[in-house]
Structure formats: C-alpha cells, structure tokens
Amino acid sequence: SMDGITAMLTVMVKLVKKKHPDNFQMLFVDDRTWATKTPRACCEVRDTWRHFSCVFGLVDNPSQDQFTHPTRNGRKRLVEVGIPLGKR
C-alpha cells in the first residue's frame, strides 16, 4: 500500500540522513533523490540506500539509477568515482 511504502521510506530517509547529515534528500512516491557535496558522498549515500533497502526487504533496480551534475567537470568527477552518467 502507498501508506506502507511511505512509512518505510520515511524511516529510511531518517536513517540515511543520520548517517550522511550533509546530504539533501527528497522522495516522490518510491523515487529517491539526493544531492551531496562530493562524488564520493554521492556513492556513499547510494550505497547506504541500497543497504537499508536490503535490510527492509525492498528490491532496488540499479538499472533505473540516474546520476548527473550541472557542470562538465562535475560529471567528469562522478565518472572518476565509478558513477555512470545518464544511466536509464
């Protein structure tokens, strides 16, 4: 149910925020969006979300991951830490 997934994801948002206090997060239904200060932090938040998804019994679909940055240099830095751009 929508209420159940919302309750579960709300708990997960709080857990991720506790572990990564400098990130900004937003949810829309079951889509998660976050912004971080560094590419490394982006990877860490992604991995934390995947961990909590597993713990809570949710199945993430990595093929739906999308990462971007507004600048060419920022996109290059994402690729350097192993984040593929434009994936979907």
Prediction pTM value? 0.81
- Tens-place pLDDT, residues 30-54: 788 899 988 999 989 999 999 988 9
- Tens-place pLDDT, residues 7-37: 888 888 899 999 999 999 988 877 888 999 8
Q: How many residues does the chain have?
A: 88
Buried b (16+ CB within 10 A) or exposed e, 63-77: eeeebebeeeeebeb
Tell me the β-bridge partners of 27.
32
